[in-house]
Structure 1
Amino acid sequence: MSAETPVCQLLERQDADYRGWWWVAPPRDSWLEQGEGTLISADVSVRAAWQAQGRPALSPFSPEASPPPGVVLFWPKSHALGEWWLLWLCQVLPEGTPMQLVGEHQGGIKRVLKVLAALGMGCRKLDSARRCSLFATRSAPQPLDPEAVWTRFEAAGLTLASHPGVFGHGKFDEGTGLLIEQLETALPRGQVLDMGCGDGILAAWMAQQGRDVTAVDVSAFAVEATRRSLAANGLNGEALESDVYSALAGRRFDAIISNPPFHQERSIDYGPAARLIQEAPQHLTPGGQLILVANAFLPYADPLEKAFGGFEILADNGRFRVYRARLARG
């Protein structure tokens, strides 16, 4: 099995013995999934793919695994998130553990030189190809705690927790604001699902309105942020890691509310939103509603028509559009 992604193609040609190493925050790639070592990822869908191959896969919020002989960190689009991963690795690894950092030039991998220098960590370039670079360093004690990366901000009358890499990190999204305006009159009673919960603003707002809230996200960082946001406001709610509906088998809700993502790193990816819409009827009670906000240019009308037989537009400000579709009462 050959590597599929540019970063893994660069790693594939290295002489390093990666047996037992940690692969931290990698993309989906069959070469990795069928190889050696342990996955550390905040993305539950990536962990599921590895587990399906019988491979060990852990969240950074899981109990720590045995120290590895080395680590490969795939540098993320968010440099603040990359810095968090470095701080976290330096906290959990023995001092001097070999570390390699790999990423695409377009994604800013070359900036890790300054990041490592600021952390007092030496660095040398190992290789460059496929518009990617690979650097080597070693873990070192850091005065900064990874916990310090968490921030709080105020929005919609709520205190929200935020972490680098979570959607809308540290700011109030315009589309979410338009959605909340409509929910003030459109939100049904009963059990509601916040799909793609991010920092938890929708989950917290709906819990504040007295709804029984479940929140899900594919990102462990988002789930943890939502839990912290609920706790910061003294609100109750359940937050779960889930690849769309993967953690919700057999469960139904009176409403599904979402500001669904359509980006995966730098690429547009309609897959999660399409699954959200297509599978929504299986997770709604009779007469239940799907209410979502999206950029006005996104092609959600056809999937909504196909899944529900019709929909209405509750709001459209030219940039964002709020849709509502109802499940027949049978």
Structure 2
Amino acid sequence: MSAQLPACQLLQRYYGDHTALCPVAPGRDEWLVHQSASMVSDSVALRDVWQTHQKAAFSPFEPTIELEGQVVLFWPKAHQLGLWWLDWLCQVLPEGTSVDIVGEHQGGIKRVPKWLDERGLKWDKLDNARRCTLYSTRTRALGDPDAAWTTFTAGELTLASHPGVFGHGKVDEGTTLLLEALDSRGLKTPLRVLDMGCGDGIISAWLAKRGHEVSAVDVSAFAVQATERTLAANALSARVLESDVYSKLDGERFDLIVSNPPFHQERDISFGPSARLIEKAREHLTPRGELVLVANGFLPYPELLKRAMGEFETLADNRRFRVYRAGA
């Protein structure tokens, strides 16, 4: 079996096929799944892949984590998130544990030695190929990873934010347009609402504050944590859970599904989750339910909506973003 992702190709070249690995924040690669003794990821979708192959897979927020194999941190595009993972590993692993760090050159891996130096972590360069580099270091006591959490005010709400969560530290323009469109419609109360891809929880909190029964889901554990913190900061309640689109909802139906769906995975554009959101919406809407979503104007969502939902309308358009509505 050959690795497919460039970073995994470098790992296969360096480690061969006989070293048990513990990837942290990896991408999906069948070779890596096969080589793993355990893994850690904020993505419930990726953890499900590893668990399907009977491999131990952990969220970084689980109370008990037992890592097996050579720890390899996959450096993310968001360097603040990479630093959080580094601090987290130094907290959960015994001091002096070997940690290797791999990433693509265009993703900022070449800046990692500078950040390791700033944290007083000694490092070595192990290998480079496929426009990727592999470094090694060892854990030592560092700062508290919780320090990465921040809060900021957005209108009537206080929002919690974490590196790697969509719109980190600010309100996305598309989300603002979406909330304005929902406000202008004068939603009846209470509706059973699903916030798909809840991010920092701004949409869920806005809806809960207006008396709706909200379920908030996201594939990322960071987003789930952020939404829970946002709700708590505003003395609001909602159900929050990790789910790869509808995977954990077991056929539940809602009066309203609302979303600002992501279309980036690291540096790649991916419509997979958004397409599943739209294609399966009818199965999760009540007979008079509605799907309302916001998207960049250039994205091909009208085609997806027309194919899956039939008729749809544009509720708002500011030339950069559009808010679409389709009924069940």
- Structure-2 residue corresponding to 1:75: 75
- Structure-2 residue corresponding to 1:230: 231
Aligned ranges 1:138-153 → 2 under 5 Å: 138-142=138-142, 144-153=143-152
- Structure-1 residue corresponding to 2:157: 158
Contact 1:26 1:41 (C-alpha < 8 Å) held by counterparts: yes
- Structure-1 residue corresponding to 2:213: 212
SS at match of 2:229: helix
Name the amino acid aligned to 1:247: K
Contact 1:77 1:108 (C-alpha < 8 Å) held by counterparts: yes
- Structure-2 residue corresponding to 1:241: 242
Deviations 1:154-212 (A, max 9, x none): 11310000000000000011100000001113334410000000000000000001000
Q: CA deviation at 1:65?
A: 2.4
- Structure-1 residue corresponding to 2:116: 116
- Structure-1 residue corresponding to 2:7: 7
- Structure-2 residue corresponding to 1:195: 196
Aligned ranges 1:1-330 → 2 under 5 Å: 1-15=1-15, 19=19, 21-66=21-66, 68=68, 70-142=70-142, 144-186=143-185, 187-189=187-189, 190-327=191-328
Contact 1:95 1:140 (C-alpha < 8 Å) held by counterparts: yes
SS at match of 1:14: helix
How far, CA to CA, are the matches of 2:12 and 2:20 in structure 1? 16
Unaligned 5+ segments in structure 2 are: none
Q: Name the Cα RMSD after superposition.
A: 1.3
Q: CA deviation at 1:68?
A: 3.9
SS at match of 1:281: helix
Q: CA deviation at 1:67?
A: 5.0
**Residues 286 and 69 (structure 1), Cα distance of their counterparts in 2 relative to 1, 3 Å cut:** closer
**Residues 12 and 19 (structure 1), Cα distance of their counterparts in 2 relative to 1, 3 Å cut:** closer
Unaligned 5+ segments in structure 1 are: none
**Residues 15 and 268 (structure 1), Cα distance of their counterparts in 2 relative to 1, 3 Å cut:** closer
Query: How many residues align structurally?
Result: 326
Name the amino acid aligned to 2:156: G
SS at match of 2:35: coil
Contact 2:3 2:30 (C-alpha < 8 Å) held by counterparts: yes
What TM-score comes out, normalization by structure 1 length? 0.96
Contact 2:17 2:35 (C-alpha < 8 Å) held by counterparts: no
Deviations 1:280-321 (A, max 9, x none): 000000110000000011111111111111101001010000
Name the amino acid aligned to 2:162: H
**Residues 244 and 67 (structure 1), Cα distance of their counterparts in 2 relative to 1, 3 Å cut:** closer
**Residues 16 and 115 (structure 1), Cα distance of their counterparts in 2 relative to 1, 3 Å cut:** farther
Name the amino acid aligned to 1:3: A
How far, CA to CA, are the matches of 1:274 and 1:57 in structure 2? 26
Identity of aligned residues (%): 60
Contact 2:23 2:36 (C-alpha < 8 Å) held by counterparts: no
How far, CA to CA, are the matches of 2:318 and 2:257 in structure 1? 22
